Structure 1
Amino acid sequence: MQSTSTTASEPALAQPAPVRRLMSLDALRGFDMFWIAGGEEIFHVLAKTTGWAWTLVLADQFTHAEWNGFRAYDCIFPLFLFMAGVSTPFAVGSRLERGVSKSELARKIIKRGLILVLLGIIYNNGILTKPISDTRFPSVLGRIGLAGMFAQLIYLYFQNPKAQYTWFGALLLGYWALMMLIPVPGCGAGVLTLDCSLAGYVDRSILPGRLYLKVHDPEGLFSTIPAIGTALLGIFAGELLRSDGRSAHRDQKTLWLVLGGVSCLILGYSWGWIFPVNKNLWTSSFVLVAGGWSLLMLALFYWVIDVKKISGWAFFFTVIGMNSILIYIAGEFINFEYAAKFFFGGLLGFFSEPIRAIGAVLAFLAVKWAFVYFMYKKKVFLRV
């Protein structure tokens, strides 16, 4: 892991340096990270302090579905993995065109993937603070590392789009078949519950330490198989956006993204009747539903920012998106809440409780944004 300026010659795979950089990619990544960084608390606090119907609806959307089902907040994680895939043709493809060998790129891809796994373990547990039996090895960063790594290797060694789509279909169909046909001891085959799913059983059997839900982990090893498909879907979108204007101009690219998104939603929700949309299991139908919404959001950001050139509003999110890994892990070693109270606590004390509660959230977000803005102005970006 290293800090670098935008003048660095080596683009990152998970968060690339500006190689034909599209502002919409950083803006959408930043929009996604904004909610992870605490933006969802705005709606939760509004719902708690006002009780307004629309705030209750939005607050509910910014919680995870307990098991089966899909809410807006369930798209946050897969959107980030999808965006890592979108960046791949710009980062890896450009280096292939410059003559960098596939073996060298593969080594870098694997190295970065494993570093993300290690960072995820540290993020969850600290450094040597817990015994192995109490250590949680699966993580959000670990899933991004492994799923992104395998998707990038597929992109690297299977340049033919048909081969890439074949991989995508095989991963989703294969995971479906495995989950539905292989019996779990004491449960049978195709039982997709917390205790009886094949994904949970495999993770309990092979992973050391503890699982997040004791008998199941939403970022477990087995369900990383379909998560590779999430990253591949992003790669397909990235290949489209990186293609030259002779094959498709920007309005056509936007249309293809929209059509792809709608198609994924129709197929995903239809598949969900027999293979439920479930983030915890990262089911194949979930890949398509989350991917469909991700494609539509990418189409919107791309059309507004890169096609229509309406970009001033996006700077707020771009600053976050260009340091997305940093903003994710910074809260583990920087007390942003204390800083927010230090700078804004006295001022907020003059207001009523509802305004103080909402103001505290906004102050917290402002301090976080000021931190990444400072890094942005200094041209320091954390890359893995």
Structure 2
Amino acid sequence: MKRIVSIDVFRGLTMFLMIWVNDFWTLQDIPKWLKHAASGEDYLGFSDLIFPWFLFVLGMSIPFAFENRINRGEAPFNTWKHILVRSIALLVMGLFHMNMEMYNHDTSLISKPVFVIICTAAFFMIWNVYPKAESDKRITFKALPILGVMILAAMFLIYKGKGYDGAEI
């Protein structure tokens, strides 16, 4: 299937802008119109446009992805299974990474940067696409996702957060 360049360019631009605007919190004195609108404000900042663009380009890409899988002869059940696994992966990653904002390094066993690195490494262990391999490596490739799940479970159990009001989560 021939790729549609305009969708690829828009997807790339959107991903770049998502990374860019989500790093604004580290910057000072940036124009207000670039930032997300605060809760209760009646205005739309540039950053507020990026996620809808992402959803739009995602919606544009889905029919082509389905058609590509059908053309490869993949069963519809496998396509839906793939979508479900990816959706769960994104939800789990989002759950961990969005709660990093509330991470309380004062009461936690490990520092926030170490917690983030360990969680991210576990994500790769779980959702990496491992190559087909001989039996000795196959065991390792089967064990890594299991180890990743165990690591994420441990990170979930040791997580200590602090709410905006200072209460422990």
Higher alpha-carbon Rg: 1
Higher relative contact order (CA 8 A, sep 6+): 1
